[in-house]
Structure 1
Amino acid sequence: MLVRKMDSEVLVLATDNRGKIVELTDLLKPYHLRVLSTKDLLLPDPEETGSTFIANAKIKALTAAQASGIPAMADDSGFSVAALEAAPGIYSARWAGPQKDFNLAMQLVHYKMIISKSDDTQAWFTCALALAWPDGYCESVEGYVYGRVVWPPRGDNGFGYDSMFVPDGKNMETFGECNINRKKLISHRADAFSRLVNRCFKGRNFDGKRLLSFRQK
């Protein structure tokens, strides 16, 4: 099976979410790419009509790549709670409403957990990353981080549902309290990115020189 290598010097991040832009740009630093966002290019957001994280990531990446003529990476991620039967899941952003108020979204999660009458605090984040080219070719991966819900939320370092999530392990910090350097090692986005690197970036010269577009998997 042929897998396309990322050989462009420029990459578009198909998001206007500042938190995602910061995390992905930081992860991409070793590859010496010029990173732009759809906000930089004034590209509109497509309608996310997929029924899975990967489907929505592909929609965003392909739309941005074809509109810009530049390879594009898109993230679709969400927060799932065991007591809520994996909700909000792909609807995580919608729970924040049109104003993207994630304080409201976290309150809604907490309220629904109370009325569920479940003691299960297990939760996880999922991140799908899609890397698309203007000709319609696309690679996609999915990553995860597991942990539990806490209340009240703690910390202002993260975004989304970060302040109510403690990842598994000895450290009791929420993602909202977590230093970005620690978070980038253990997050769902870091997990997905490592998978995408192994597939499409592995072997790329760190001075930014182009490699052949395809390799044998």
Structure 2
Amino acid sequence: MNKITVGIVEDNFEVSQSLELLLNSTDEYLCIGTCPNTVTALETLPGLNPDVILMDINLPDESGIECIKKLKPHLQQTQIVMLTMYEDSEKVFEALASGAIGYLLKRTTKENLLSAIKEAHNGGSPMSMEIARMVVKSFASVQKVNEVKAMLTEREWEILEHLAKGKRYKEIAASLFIGTETVRSHLRNIYEKLQVRSSTEAVLKYLDNK
């Protein structure tokens, strides 16, 4: 049986060594290269062509996200999985947008890590439970924003955004190069569409769906 080959990009030697030992102690996986930074990864991994790469985010020269962007053109068939301690949404989505297929936290158990590598190799998108929940919640939030936005015209949405920033009618009018009465007219339409009775209620509904 062919083993799933894995490359590791991790600057912490103990973590890297631990992962290598774990992989090589199995019958299904083989670590074929460890890299402590982006430069070494770019020099080494394209020639090794691993099936899966485990990528840390916090590397000493460049972030793991930048490393993905530079590696992907040379390793289009390789699946890259983030393995990091960071779980903020900005890094998660930036990593996925850059070409990572999965996102795991370093506290993931050994069993789940090995399963995730196999899942990535088979075309899946493994994620730690906390990350998966974050992704689902984010998409739900985007859906809410889209629902509210779909009710309004582009101009009405612009006015609501300005209103949410605390701008007065005259300031909104000046920013959009329209008259104050035009702003008031748009606001009446916004109130009716969102079923609210004041600018405060409209802003609260806007913020609730951000």
TM over 0.5: no
Q: Which protein, 1 or 2, shows the higher relative CO under an 8 Å CA cutoff with sep ≥ 6?
A: 1
Say which one has the larger Rg. 2
**Structure with the larger strand share:** 1
